[in-house]
A and B are shown apart, each in its own frame.
Chain A
Amino acid sequence: MTLPLPQEEQELVCYHCGEPCFGGVIFFDRKHFCCDGCKTVYQLLNSNGLCGYYQIDESKGISPKLAKSEDRFAYLDSQDVEIKILSFRNESECRVDFSLPMMHCSSCVWLLEHLYKLNAGIISARTDFQRKSLHVVYQSSHTTLRKIVELLSTIGYEPDLRFADLHEKTEKKLNRRRIYRLVVAGFCFGNIMLLSFPEYLSGGHPDHTMNRVFSYLNLLLSLPVLIYSGGEFFISAYQGLKAKFLNIDLPLSLSLAITFGRSLYEILSGTGAGYLDSMAGIIFFMLVGRYFQDRTHLRLQFDRDFKSFFPISVRIKKEETFSTVPLSELKKGHRIFIRSQELIPADALLIEGDARIDYSFVTGESKPEHIQKGKMIYAGGRQTSGQIEIEILKEVEQSYLTKLWNRKQEKSAQIPTDNMVHRLARHFTGFLLLLSIGSFLFWMPYDISRGIHALTTILIVACPCALLLSATFTHASVMSVLGKNGVFVKNAGILETIGKINTIVWDKTGTITSASQMPVTSHIDDIQLYPFILSVVSNSNHPFSRRITTLLEGSGVKRLEVNQYKETPGSGAEGLVSGVLVQVGNAAFTGLTSTIEGQTSKVYVSINHIPVGYYSFGNELREGIKENISWLTRDGYQHMLLSGDKSSGIEAVTGIFPSHTSMHFSQSPHDKQAKIEELKTQGFRVLMIGDGLNDAGALISSDAGIAVSDDINNFTPACDVIMEGRSFGKFRAVLHFIKHTRTIIIGSFILSLLYNVVGLGIAVQGQMSPFIAAILMPVSSVSIILFTTSVSRILASRLGLKV
């Protein structure tokens, strides 16, 4: 057993993917490759003159995942499926949008846009880097959807196939409409300002007809602003009224209407120039604010439903053949095949095959569960070994997991939340109405026209727009700062809710701990054994085996050939390496009679039935989680832990929570949701932090739900906030920052009140000149915008957030 460790080959990296070549080097075309997959991609690119790919960026290619079944895209040949995926088709031409999560650098853009070189049927391919999508136009006479998808998978960009997302298209249209509104408002606002200049400077040009012409032009220009751009405020105010809810757009619409009405009167009667410039200004600034608020994070999806996680089609067994049908046509009683690494779409019975189901999506438990024939398999589980045949018991919509999703959808149709901005706006509006009516009554006995003048001017000058603007722009800038720090907020309303929470409920696996960083300690001293162990464990898909594999490969150990490999589920794996029997598994499997006591999970190794040592696994906590939790405790937050794990995981978390924290283990998704609801009825304001589908119900039930994800483009359950796993160390700072949003809004509101007091002081006397009113309006708006953005940025950098 003298096997030198392959030290000298450590610097060998794969020409294609840039990963070190441990599992044996393939030498081809004077270049090194780590695996056949990488070599294949290189050959394909090279023979098509696409090697420029490697010269563009530092970043390297993607190693295609091999060993997936040949015909796994066969369902794309089915007409039903094809129609649902394509976004357009006629006799000769088809268009399709793919989402390619693997796209990551400019080389990807280059390669993908040269896709036509690899498949002659492709007319063009366009990438959208930020959305990670690819738009392909192809001739259906020359190639098929399946071939394109297979090609993409071969070169390492496996598309994330979904049924044609109608949703995305309407979103695009909505987005454009918002821009149109903004642009029209901006155009008219600018022109009205220019035409109003003579009025500002000298109270009108000496030439009376010229003044009138300008006024009429202003009137003309203000119509599109009011009707087209400002229309949405009126509609929203009306809808609010209909639902008996005074929303924030009501005072705004009121003041817009009064401003326009008064201006119309002044212009038509020839008594003045009106306030059309301020009206257009309000609309323009409001739209700018809302644009920035809504612009963030197009590529993130907060409201995914279960369908986005399930396969889009299934293979149904009919007598002896099988056919591919879309998931929606799956009925009770159907027999379907599930291949390795596929998700179970609906609750079913196991008929045939070796079912080892990984329920980490549903329960958070990452160890695959072995299912006996005739037993139930729940939707959301992932098959991890070989093909199985199952019989559907419940339809997709009726399954255990999907019910969770449906339940909360009823709840989301709640009345709009009554938040601070709304309340302030309402009080402020009430106060203004009183004030204006009061001053009208005061002047009425003396001079009725002066009374009307005062009434309208007060409403125009002191309209709650300043308040609306401060809220809108504060939210926009807070959200953009959060986005830079890896925290993505679904909408502005949630910021205030988060500011008010007092209880934080944590999920364990994946949230506090991170599976990919699970620490493993080697208790095997003989390094010459490493290649033998690696050769065996690299064949197994068990999480522990994978962790040992990455550990050993990371230290440069090379694989050897394995014979008679055998894996006993729940026990371990064994194989012959160079004639030596290597067994890796639990104590009984490796022939140990006495086990080593301790809290951690262990995997034992024996060579030729002689125990040589073991690996012990801990539960890796996310970086900074401990500090954050103790800080938050000091800040007065209550904690609670809800874990899907067995209580054996407790030792990993006891140290980090205060001793009185209530911890619940073995919680099903429903239990979690019930616990959250219970807390809420007790009057706690609950923030739920979770990661998996098993937290989906709880995330929705809580006042605010944060989903933690290591790859935000990959998977997140429906939630209010998506947080990148690596930003978790800043959790407390983020929470504080969100809390202070309220302070910033109040601060800028006070600032705008100061303007209003000055303006009102003059307006109440009925002596406000249009000049001052017109100047005050944009100046106060712009200064409030500057105030909110700068204050929130200063605060963020004080809290240690990226700005």
Chain B
Amino acid sequence: MSVIYLLIGISIPIAAGFLIAFLFASTDGQFDDDYTPSIRMLLEDPKPEQPNKTSTQPEA
């Protein structure tokens, strides 16, 4: 059963690593805004060839 010492010795540092990672991410502001990124990822950058598609037909 002494293998359990090894397991605990590994598992707690790993868990602590995740804890620290979370704390860092939080300090970095990653959880300050939990809504906008969900919009942002659905938006595309404007395509560069689009701008010159102005009026082909003057005022009617």
Q: In the complex, what residues of B have CB within 8 A of residue A106's CB?
A: 39, 42-43
- Decide yes or no: A130 and B50 within 8 Å by CB, A27-B60, A52-B44, A187-B15 being known contacts: no
- Considering only residues 90-121 of chain A, those with a C-beta below 8 Å from chain B are 106, 109-110, 113-114, 117
Tell me the nearest residue of chain B to A51, going by C-beta: B50
- Considering only residues 164-180 of chain A, those with a C-beta below 8 Å from chain B are 172, 176, 179-180
Please tell me if the beta carbons of B54 and A29 are within 8 angstroms of each other in the complex: yes
Please tell me if the beta carbons of B44 and A130 are within 8 angstroms of each other in the complex: no
- Considering only residues 1-20 of chain B, those with a C-beta below 8 Å from chain A are 1, 4-5, 8, 12, 15-16, 19
Q: In the complex, what residues of A have CB within 8 A of residue B57's CB?
A: 30
- Decide yes or no: A109 and B36 within 8 Å by CB, A183-B22, A187-B19 being known contacts: yes
Tell me the nearest residue of chain A to B18, going by C-beta: A187
| Contact of A217 with B by CB under 8 A | yes
| Contact of A647 with B by CB under 8 A | no
Please tell me if the beta carbons of A29 and B55 are within 8 angstroms of each other in the complex: yes
Please tell me if the beta carbons of A213 and B23 are within 8 angstroms of each other in the complex: no
Of A46, A47, A207, the most chain B CB neighbours within 10 A belong to: A46
| Contact of A444 with B by CB under 8 A | no
Q: In the complex, what residues of A have CB within 8 A of residue B36's CB?
A: 109, 126-130
Tell me the nearest residue of chain B to A108, going by C-beta: B39
Bound together, the chains give a CA A803 to CA B5 distance in angstroms of 49
- Decide yes or no: A210 and B19 within 8 Å by CB, A46-B54, A49-B46, A128-B36 being known contacts: no
Please tell me if the beta carbons of A129 and B55 are within 8 angstroms of each other in the complex: no
- Considering only residues 1-58 of chain A, those with a C-beta below 8 Å from chain B are 27-30, 46-52, 56
Interface of A is mostly: helix
- Considering only residues 251-270 of chain A, those with a C-beta below 8 Å from chain B are none
How many residues in A have their beta carbons less than 8 Å from beta carbons of B?
38
Tell me the nearest residue of chain A to B55, going by C-beta: A29
- Decide yes or no: A172 and B46 within 8 Å by CB, A46-B54, A48-B51, A210-B4 being known contacts: no
Bound together, the chains give a CA A127 to CA B48 distance in angstroms of 23
Q: In the complex, what residues of B have CB within 8 A of residue A109's CB?
A: 36, 39-40, 43
A116 CB to nearest chain B CB (Å): 11
A455 CB to nearest chain B CB (Å): 34
Pick from A46, A172, A183, A217: contact of B23, CB under 8 Å: A183
Please tell me if the beta carbons of B43 and A49 are within 8 angstroms of each other in the complex: no
Tell me the nearest residue of chain A to B49, going by C-beta: A49
Bound together, the chains give a CA A30 to CA B55 distance in angstroms of 7
Q: In the complex, what residues of A have CB within 8 A of residue B40's CB?
A: 109, 113
Bound together, the chains give a CA A129 to CA B1 distance in angstroms of 54
Pick from B16, B33, B54, B60: contact of A129, CB under 8 Å: B33
Bound together, the chains give a CA A28 to CA B32 distance in angstroms of 42
Of B22, B31, B42, B46, the most chain A CB neighbours within 10 A belong to: B46
Pick from A110, A180, A183, A187: contact of B43, CB under 8 Å: A110
Bound together, the chains give a CA A117 to CA B48 distance in angstroms of 12
Please tell me if the beta carbons of A114 and B46 are within 8 angstroms of each other in the complex: yes
Please tell me if the beta carbons of B35 and A56 are within 8 angstroms of each other in the complex: no
Q: In the complex, what residues of B have CB within 8 A of residue A48's CB?
A: 51
Q: In the complex, what residues of B have CB within 8 A of residue A27's CB?
A: 59-60
Please tell me if the beta carbons of B39 and A52 are within 8 angstroms of each other in the complex: no
| Contact of A131 with B by CB under 8 A | yes
Of B22, B51, B59, the most chain A CB neighbours within 10 A belong to: B51
- Decide yes or no: A49 and B12 within 8 Å by CB, A183-B19, A183-B22 being known contacts: no
Tell me the nearest residue of chain A to B56, going by C-beta: A30
A803 CB to nearest chain B CB (Å): 21
- Decide yes or no: A179 and B46 within 8 Å by CB, A47-B51, A109-B36, A191-B12 being known contacts: no
| Contact of A663 with B by CB under 8 A | no
Q: In the complex, what residues of A have CB within 8 A of residue B43's CB?
A: 56, 106, 109-110, 113
A62 CB to nearest chain B CB (Å): 17
B27 CB to nearest chain A CB (Å): 7
Please tell me if the beta carbons of B31 and A179 are within 8 angstroms of each other in the complex: yes
Bound together, the chains give a CA A145 to CA B1 distance in angstroms of 68
B16 CB to nearest chain A CB (Å): 8
- Decide yes or no: A184 and B19 within 8 Å by CB, A110-B43, A207-B1 being known contacts: yes
Bound together, the chains give a CA A187 to CA B44 distance in angstroms of 39
Q: In the complex, what residues of B have CB within 8 A of residue A217's CB?
A: 8, 12
B37 CB to nearest chain A CB (Å): 9
Tell me the nearest residue of chain A to B39, going by C-beta: A106
Q: In the complex, what residues of B have CB within 8 A of residue A49's CB?
A: 46-48, 50-51
Q: In the complex, what residues of B have CB within 8 A of residue A172's CB?
A: 32
Tell me the nearest residue of chain B to A220, going by C-beta: B12
Please tell me if the beta carbons of A130 and B35 are within 8 angstroms of each other in the complex: yes
Q: In the complex, what residues of B have CB within 8 A of residue A110's CB?
A: 43
Please tell me if the beta carbons of A176 and B39 are within 8 angstroms of each other in the complex: no
Q: In the complex, what residues of A have CB within 8 A of residue B44's CB?
A: 52
Please tell me if the beta carbons of A131 and B33 are within 8 angstroms of each other in the complex: yes
B22 CB to nearest chain A CB (Å): 6
Bound together, the chains give a CA A546 to CA B55 distance in angstroms of 36
Bound together, the chains give a CA A344 to CA B55 distance in angstroms of 47
Of B12, B35, B43, B44, the most chain A CB neighbours within 10 A belong to: B43
A167 CB to nearest chain B CB (Å): 16
Q: In the complex, what residues of A have CB within 8 A of residue B22's CB?
A: 183
Q: In the complex, what residues of A have CB within 8 A of residue B47's CB?
A: 49, 52
Bound together, the chains give a CA A684 to CA B22 distance in angstroms of 51
Interface string of A175-200 (1 = CB under 8 A from B): 01001100110010001000100000
Please tell me if the beta carbons of A50 and B33 are within 8 angstroms of each other in the complex: no
A47 CB to nearest chain B CB (Å): 7
Please tell me if the beta carbons of A52 and B46 are within 8 angstroms of each other in the complex: yes
Bound together, the chains give a CA A51 to CA B12 distance in angstroms of 53
Tell me the nearest residue of chain A to B16, going by C-beta: A187
B50 CB to nearest chain A CB (Å): 5
B6 CB to nearest chain A CB (Å): 12
Pick from B4, B32, B54: contact of A128, CB under 8 Å: B32
A428 CB to nearest chain B CB (Å): 35
Please tell me if the beta carbons of A129 and B35 are within 8 angstroms of each other in the complex: yes
Pick from B12, B15, B26, B55: contact of A176, CB under 8 Å: B26
Interface string of A196-226 (1 = CB under 8 A from B): 0000000001010010010001000000000
Interface CB pairs A-B, < 8 A, 29? A29-B54, A30-B57, A47-B51, A49-B51, A50-B46, A51-B46, A52-B46, A52-B47, A52-B50, A56-B43, A106-B42, A109-B43, A110-B43, A114-B45, A114-B46, A117-B46, A128-B33, A129-B33, A129-B39, A130-B33, A172-B32, A176-B27, A183-B19, A183-B23, A187-B16, A191-B12, A195-B8, A213-B5, A217-B8
11 additional A-B pairs beyond A113-B40, A130-B35, beta carbons within 8 Å, are A28-B59, A30-B57, A52-B46, A106-B43, A114-B45, A128-B32, A129-B35, A130-B33, A187-B16, A191-B12, A217-B12
- Can you list the 10 inter-chain pairs with the closest CB atoms, starting with the nearest? A49-B51, A129-B36, A110-B43, A106-B39, A29-B55, A128-B33, A49-B46, A187-B19, A130-B35, A49-B50
Taking beta carbons and an 8 Å cutoff, which residues of B are in contact with A?
A: 1, 4-5, 8, 12, 15-16, 19, 22-23, 26-27, 31-33, 35-36, 39-40, 42-48, 50-51, 54-55, 57, 59-60
